[in-house]
Every structure is written in C-alpha cells, then in structure tokens.
C-alpha cells in the first residue's frame, strides 16, 4: 500500500473526530496499516463558524462540507469523512462518494434534563432544534410546544438545556452511540413516530475520482447494504430537490432481496405532511427513490414547498 502518510479530512467536533477515527481503524484493519500511516486534518467549515443563525439562513447543506471538499480537490487531504445527512446530493466535479461505513441506529433520541418523553412535555414547553425536519414533525404532533432554535455539538446543547434555553431537544442516537454517551438517550423515538433524516446514522468517505489507489483502498471497507439504502434515500432527496430548507424525511430498509422505502415531506410549520411508501428489488434502489419522490410530489400538489 501507499508509503506516504494518508491525510483524513474532517470537521473538528468530537463526533466528527470519532467518525474519522472509525474510518482510520477500518482502513488499518483492511490494509495492515498503523496509526503512524495516517494524519487527521481538522478543517473548520462555514457551518462550524456561524452558530448563531439557522442553517437555512446561511446556505443549507454545503455549509458543513465545502471547505473539506476544497481541501480534497487541492490535494491538502486524501480522503474526507462526512456525516451523510449533511451531504448535498450533487457532488463537485472530480470527487467521488461511494464508500459508506456500516450504518448506526437511525432513530432520533429525546434528550432532556427534566422530562422522559415527548408526551411528558407540558403545554408551552420549549423544545430546541436546528433541524427543519424535526421542527415540522414535532409541530405536526404537538403544535402546543414552543420550538426554539438550538444549534451546536452535543456538549453545547447539553449546556443550553442546563441553562434553560430549552426544556428538551432531539439528537441522533447514532451520534450519541459513537460518542459513548448512551446514557443521554431518555427514549429512542420509533421511526413510525419520527421518520429520520435522509441518510441519518451513516458515514460517507469521499476521495478524488482520479485517485485510483485511494478508490481501491476505500472499496475494501465499503458496506454494501448501507450503500444500497443510501442510494434509494438520496435518490428520493434528489427527486424532491431537497435541501436544508425543506423538511424531508426518509428511510430505506432491506429484507432479503427487497428494499422498502418510506418518505415524508412537511410544511415547515407542521400544518401539513404527506407520507408514502414503496417496495421493490434492491437492485432498483435509485429508481425506487425517484419513483417515491414523484408519488410524494403528486400527492402534495404543485405548490407544497
């Protein structure tokens, strides 16, 4: 394998670093490498720098990826590790994203220092979230709640809870598991109650498409079932022209050679939601995602968004 140090680009949050370390561990095991063969390169993104405004106001999904992708394109790093729910569907020319690690728990976790579940929240309680999807879903269920803007990493959000900025929040179970903070999960929320974000719980690894050596190394750690599920979910997102400014949820599951995909679109205030499902062959994952997008658009009417 390569003799030079392999540079892994990542954001600097504890969760992003945990994901980079997991990638490094899997590459070490697959190729007989050691930690000295790698360098973790922390890159601060626009989304990390601007924390006092909603994501939709400052540009959407690419806020957490652009600077890292720029570093990949200019050769400063060899691979980039991303949370897949942050990734835009369209990829920059010259970059390839087709390596995924085994997907973690896809559910959202209810997190609170006062209450044990959504149903325990009293009328008018403050629920903090920066996610338009979670905001819309919770308002559809509990329009009596006061949903407030709530950004930051896990540690920042816990401090905000302690300071009374909100009474409760949602975090991805996957992130808490990867950080070893399972104790924070008051109650995992069933996906039938809160359908997760597209690609939630999945890690993607990006490289330069012309770097055949790196592409070959990554293929050895790609998890095919996760790749198939994300193919369907991201095709659904593409068909809906989804962004951080659009409340969209979706989840694919595999049974034998069949793929089941459920999708949901909502108005930001939770006043209307449309849900649909589709099942077909795993080999048709992309087509199923595109087909479900058309179904949702037809059922919602032309001006839903």
Predicted pLDDT of residue 1: 44
* Close Cβ partners of 41 (under 8 Å, ≥ 6 residues apart): 7, 8, 9, 10, 71, 76, 77
Annotated catalytic residue within 86, 105, 167, 211:
86
The domains located in the chain, with CATH, are 1-101+199-222 (3.40.190.10), 108-189 (3.40.190.10), 224-305 (3.30.160.40)
Lowest mean pLDDT among 6-10, 129-133, 149-153: 149-153
**By the 8 A CB rule, do 268 and 286 touch?**
no
Q: Is 48 noted as a catalytic residue in this protein?
A: no
Residue 81, CA distances (Å) to 9, 24, 141 in order: 6, 10, 34
pLDDT in tens, 173-211: 999 999 999 888 878 999 999 999 999 999 999 999 999
Torsion region of 164: left, alpha or beta (phi above 0 gives left; psi -120 to 50 gives alpha) = left
* Close Cβ partners of 175 (under 8 Å, ≥ 6 residues apart): 15, 154
Mean pLDDT rounded to a whole number for the chain = 91
Assessment of whether the complete model's pTM goes beyond 0.75? yes
pLDDT in tens, 140-183: 999 999 999 987 778 888 899 999 999 999 999 999 999 999 88
**By the 8 A CB rule, do 184 and 109 touch?**
yes
Q: How far apart are CA 285 and CA 283, in angstroms?
A: 6
Question: For residue 176, which of 23, 43, 14, 51 has the smallest C-alpha distance?
Answer: 14
* Close Cβ partners of 213 (under 8 Å, ≥ 6 residues apart): 2
pLDDT in tens, 11-70: 999 999 999 999 999 999 999 999 999 999 999 876 665 555 555 555 555 667 889 999
* Close Cβ partners of 277 (under 8 Å, ≥ 6 residues apart): 260, 261, 262, 263, 292
């Amino acid at each position: 394998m390569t003799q030079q140090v392999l540079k892994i680009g990542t954001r600097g949050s504890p969760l992003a670093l945990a994901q980079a370390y997991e990638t490094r561990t899997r590459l070490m095991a697959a190729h007989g490498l050691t930690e000295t063969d790698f360098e973790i390169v922390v890159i601060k993104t626009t989304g990390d720098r601007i924390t006092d405004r909603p994501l939709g106001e400052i540009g959407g999904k690419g806020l957490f990826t652009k600077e890292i992708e720029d570093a990949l394109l200019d050769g400063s790093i060899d691979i980039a590790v991303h949370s897949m729910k942050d990734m835009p569907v369209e990829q920059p020319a010259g970059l390839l994203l087709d390596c995924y690690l085994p997907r973690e728990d896809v559910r959202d976790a209810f997190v609170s220092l006062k209450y044990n579940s959504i149903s325990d929240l009293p009328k008018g309680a403050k629920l903090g979230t920066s996610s338009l999807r979670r905001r819309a879903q919770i308002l559809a269920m509990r329009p009596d709640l006061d949903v407030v803007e709530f950004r930051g990493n896990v540690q920042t959000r816990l401090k905000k809870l302690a300071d009374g900025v909100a009474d409760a929040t949602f975090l991805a179970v996957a992130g808490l598991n990867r950080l070893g903070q399972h104790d924070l999960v008051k109650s995992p929320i069933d996906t039938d109650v809160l359908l997760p974000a597209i690609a939630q719980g999945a890690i993607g690894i990006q490289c330069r498409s012309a770097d055949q050596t790196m592409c070959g190394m990554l293929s050895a750690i790609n998890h095919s079932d996760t790749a198939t599920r994300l193919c369907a979910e991201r095709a659904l997102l593409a068909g809906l022209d989804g962004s951080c400014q659009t409340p969209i949820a979706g989840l694919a599951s595999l049974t034998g050679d069949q793929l089941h995909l459920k999708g949901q679109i909502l108005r930001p205030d939770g006043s209307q939601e449309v849900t649909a499902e589709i099942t077909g062959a795993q080999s048709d994952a992309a087509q199923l995602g595109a087909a479900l997008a058309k179904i949702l658009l037809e059922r919602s009417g032309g001006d839903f968004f």
